[in-house]
Amino acid sequence: MKTVGLIGAGRMGMPIIGHLSRAGFRVLVSERNPERRADIESRGAIHAELATLAAESEAILICVGYDSEVRELICGAGGLLDTARPDTIIAVLSTIHPKTMQELAKQADARGIHVVDSTVCRGGWAADEGTLLSFVGGDKTVVDRLTPVLSAYSSDVVHSGGVGTAQVSKAANNLILWACLVANHEGLALAQRYGVDIDALRAALMTSSAVNGALGNWGKQSMAWAQDDMAIVAEMAEECGISLPQSGLVREICRTLKPRRYKLEDYGK
């Protein structure tokens, strides 16, 4: 595999572009914001129109925000199913509903195109470092072909099962992540009100039974997507008929938190 396309040069997509280029891939990028084109080219990639990217890429990574955007890119008029070559792999890095992935994969299969979900975890700092965790849902043969691409920006690649399972894996990750972040915030806020040295406490908690990834990465994580993540979890839980009461509470708390990076000095405000 020599040419990789990427759609959406945002917070996650932009550093991935650089990692792909440094790994030796020819990288074509489609990005609607013209102000980002200079940055794209500085990372060794070529800005291309969607039709050109689709026609020339052997694998295409989609890094946009929502189900509707992914659907339009893949199935819309002039989208990837109309313009990509047979046997092309389309990998959806976006966090969307697993049913959406399965529907898109079925439509693509009829065109001889492979759609897989390849969700990423660990956040923007890991994207910068090239140490993301990638879950991949799809046929093993297709996943094996795609793995060298994913390994360019991921230190860990996990085949989670069939199409849609990477979205389920990411949903589970996000459910636990946001629950931990809320618990961290409340626990440290309580400790601060009682005069505890918060820096010392956080360091100690990282060696205790309370250790969690959100605590270790404190100050690096944004709450910008928390509410959307938890909405997907709630929809999935309702569809499969299970009750997740704690995740419902976390979702409501996420509604009230501003999309910002919480730092130790924010406690008590």
Considering the four listed CATH numbers 1.20.200.10, 2.30.30.280, 3.40.630.30, 1.10.1040.10, the one that applies to the domain covering 168-266 is 1.10.1040.10
Residues with Cβ within 8 Å of 239's Cβ and at least 6 positions away in sequence, in order, are: 99
Other Cβ atoms within 10 Å of 11 Cβ, number: 14
Mean pLDDT within 253-261: 64
- 180-203 pLDDT, tens digit each: 988 998 999 999 999 999 999 999
- 151-188 pLDDT, tens digit each: 999 999 999 999 999 999 999 999 999 899 889 989 99
Residues with Cβ within 8 Å of 115's Cβ and at least 6 positions away in sequence, in order, are: 74, 90, 91, 92, 101, 104, 105, 107, 108, 109, 138, 163
- Place domain 3-161 in its CATH homologous superfamily: NAD(P)-binding Rossmann-like Domain (3.40.50.720)
Distance CA 240, CA 138 (A): 21
Q: Domain residues of the chain, as ranges? A: 3-161, 168-266
Distance CA 246, CA 242 (A): 12
Backbone angles phi, psi at 46, to 5 degrees: -115, 125
State residue 151's pLDDT score.
98
Query: Alpha-carbon torsion 172, 174, 178, 181, what sign?
Result: positive
Query: pTM surpassing 0.85?
Result: yes
- 10-59 pLDDT, tens digit each: 999 999 999 999 999 999 999 999 999 999 999 999 999 999 999 999 99
